[in-house]
Structure 1
Amino acid sequence: MTNNPYNIRIADEDDATEWDKIVEVSDQATIFHRWKWLKICEKHSDFSLAPLICYNNIEPIAVYPLFFLKKAGLKMVFSPPPHLGLLYLGPAFLNSESLKQNRKESYYTGTQKAVDNYIKTEIKANYINFSLSPHCSDPRAFKWQGYEIEPNYDYIFDLKSGMDKLWKNMKKNTRMEINKTKKMGLTIEIGGQEDIDTLHRLVTERYGEQNRNANIPKEFLIDIYSNFRENTRILVAKYNGEVLTANIKLKFKNEELSWIGSPKPKNFTPSPNMLITWEEMQDAYDNGMDYYVQMGIAGNKRLHTFFSKFNPDLRIRFNAKKTTPATGLLESGYKKILKPAFEKYRS
């Protein structure tokens, strides 16, 4: 018998409406927390979804989606699942910003203990990896439960300051190159589902040039676009009728995310990605968004300098990882079992 007031249960389809209500009012939730999005992820991955609703006694206080896989002796838990373009997920608490600090810390630590107990007793995981929402800025509950904490980074633009200020804040050379691409006849158009084929092909080709694999399934992107039409928009950069590059962006609450795409085209200078980035920002502003986010780019040593020319703000989020001694040694040593598994399943 335990006096711990924090408990969890696994949600099912009958809970979908309640789940999405929590997501809608949570200040930590993202579009990736939506019930339908999670089920689409499960459909297009090898992982099984365990959608946890967390309670303080009988009061729901958070949703906590887990994805787990048991393979070749590995019992892995991820949130989000890898290779689907989700850079973050993890828990989303209700009204976290309005809670007093002592109540907030109690919720975070109590819930994480309950979730860890579920992972230990039900899944028996030997590898756990959580990439937390950027709105979950306090990773101490994970640290105190034995997780390794690492920072990750996004670039964020405050659209409330107005487009004139954002334009003037760019490097002069960046403004000149954007204007040059316009004078050359480059156009940015709103695309449709038919452009997902082109986008996926361009991304796959670009990755191939770098001896990398583009692991996001095209069918997954089509499924997301079909089910989240109000939240997704495809921008296509064309020159003389030819698609040079394209990007999928997402809007949720007061943010717009530059999500998947913008592969660098061959033999076109200056890069059309400068214009497509600027047009994405303009489109987000015109649609009443408060913030525009370049996901993950700020943490990429090779790519960050391209987008830092726009002089965005830096946003920090956190990754939390826990391994058993055995899997930790194997991972760090790149041994025979874990190396191919982590290359395949880790984003």
Structure 2
Amino acid sequence: MSVTIIENDGISIGRATEFDHHDWNDLVERSPQAGVFHYRESLEVQADHADATVHPLVGYKGQEPVGVFPVFETRKGGMTMAFSPAPGLWVSYLGPALLNHRKLKRRKRERRNKRFVRGCLDWIDRRLNPKFTQVRPVPDYRDVRPFEWADFDVQVRHTYSVDLTPGEEDVLMSFSSDARNNIRTDGDYRVYEGGPDEIAAIISQVRSRHDEQDESYGVTPEFVTDLYERLPDGAVRPYACEIDGEIAGGMIALEFGDTVYRWQGGAKHDRDLPVNDLVDWAIMTDAMDRGVERYDLVGANEERLCGYKAKFGPELRSHYTLQQGTRVTNALSSVYQKLR
């Protein structure tokens, strides 16, 4: 069935190109629940590298924007599936992001969230008719009940977040003693923010580590470089640690609003210096200088990795994976999780 703009209890839902009220990126930057992967350029890059079609849904109440919800359409084995974020690219969060909701009292705020989500899901069902749908919102999108009421399975996931607002000395003192000692290590090294060359080196190291563990890894240097070149300056920050003229390790950080994200990198190495600690600390101190308030360590679900991340004294935060499908397509979710 062909669908353009649909109405749901006073809220109009459609693709962003079907409205002329606001620019998509303007809406993204105005939402406290959006992230770097919501940018129009990022959606285009994800669609290209996931071989998917992106549908940037937006909702309006009159001419007031109430939310954005980008969705990717893919076809596998003759079946249509819907994802937010795009599958297989290790994109941490996407999903719905509300606007102009904090001014509302709880009852109206919850009603608006419910109507916006229901309208978007109605658009997805009528336009795409997917056999499987998966959505992973940012941690700041807390009220996922409209998905639960729409018969989505809700899985609680976790991440760590370091509060950067106390300042460098207080943040450092909140770390474990071994983290503090590692950061204070003397040595002949240089940690710096680079570009495409550093991206290629970091992704290559992570891929090699996954190959050693016989695990899939869907991130390519081309994907990250496209994000680096097309997103606003400073949105993608490749940090590298150089020892004896070689890149010993690094981390590709992402930045949006008041948060910097520890995205890709941190591969195990054979150097005597604590490379990963030094890189993480450089990301944090630079972010503090720019007034960034949080360092999201992106993931606190794998037991073997939690010990490293927990030593930075973070807050444990929850977020959600929401999915709906038939028995056959639900089996695909396990494959998708491995692709992540």
Cα distance in 2, alignment partners of residues 31 and 136 from structure 1: 14
Pick closer, same or farther for the CA change 1:233–1:141 going to 2, 3 Å. Answer: same
Cα distance in 1, alignment partners of residues 102 and 54 from structure 2: 28
* Residue identity (%): 29
Q: Which amino acid in the other structure matches residue 236 of structure 1?
A: A
Shift of 1:109: 1.2
TM-score normalised according to structure 2 size:
0.91
Q: Within the alignment, does 1:219 sit opposite 2:204 as a pair?
A: no
Q: Within the alignment, does 1:196 sit opposite 2:199 as a pair?
A: yes
Cα distance in 2, alignment partners of residues 343 and 277 from structure 1: 26
Partner of 1:171: 176
Pick closer, same or farther for the CA change 1:51–1:230 going to 2, 3 Å. Answer: same
Q: Which amino acid in the other structure matches residue 71 of structure 1?
A: K
Match of 1:324 among 315, 323, 326: 326
Shift of 1:217: 2.3
| Contact residue 186 and residue 272 of structure 1 kept, 8 A | no
Cα distance in 1, alignment partners of residues 8 and 40 from structure 2: 31
Superposed CA deviations along residues 16-66 of structure 1, whole A, max 9, x for unmatched, are: 962111111111111111111111111111211011111235532111100
Cα distance in 1, alignment partners of residues 244 and 18 from structure 2: 48
Q: Within the alignment, does 1:62 sit opposite 2:62 as a pair?
A: no
Match of 2:121 among 82, 93, 116: 116
Partner of 2:234: 230
Pick closer, same or farther for the CA change 1:239–1:299 going to 2, 3 Å. Answer: same
Cα distance in 1, alignment partners of residues 29 and 46 from structure 2: 19
Shift of 1:2: 7.7
Superposed CA deviations along residues 245-299 of structure 1, whole A, max 9, x for unmatched, are: 111112211111122112111x223531011111111111111111121112x12
Superposed CA deviations along residues 166-193 of structure 1, whole A, max 9, x for unmatched, are: 111111122122223xx23232122122
| Contact residue 8 and residue 115 of structure 2 kept, 8 A | no
| Contact residue 85 and residue 93 of structure 2 kept, 8 A | yes
Cα distance in 2, alignment partners of residues 148 and 165 from structure 1: 40
Match of 1:260 among 255, 260, 264: 264
Secondary structure of the 2:73 match is: strand
Match of 1:250 among 243, 251, 254: 254
Partner of 1:281: 284
Kindly report the root-mean-square deviation, in angstroms, between the aligned alpha carbons of the 2 structures.
2.2
More deviation, 187-196/133-142: 187-196
Q: Which amino acid in the other structure matches residue 314 of structure 1?
A: L
- Which consecutive aligned stretches of 4+ in structure 1 deviate over 6 angstroms post-superposition? none
Structure 1 residue runs of 5 or longer lacking an equivalent are 332-337
Partner of 1:80: 85
| Contact residue 16 and residue 35 of structure 1 kept, 8 A | no
Shift of 1:300: 1.8
| Contact residue 186 and residue 237 of structure 1 kept, 8 A | yes
Match of 2:54 among 45, 49, 62: 49
Pick closer, same or farther for the CA change 1:50–1:3 going to 2, 3 Å. Answer: closer
Q: Which amino acid in the other structure matches residue 251 of structure 2?
A: N
Pick closer, same or farther for the CA change 1:159–1:339 going to 2, 3 Å. Answer: closer
Superposed CA deviations along residues 106-158 of structure 1, whole A, max 9, x for unmatched, are: 11111222222222222111111100111101111111111111112221111
Partner of 1:21: 26
Cα distance in 2, alignment partners of residues 341 and 308 from structure 1: 28
Pick closer, same or farther for the CA change 1:66–1:199 going to 2, 3 Å. Answer: same
Q: Within the alignment, does 1:186 sit opposite 2:225 as a pair?
A: no
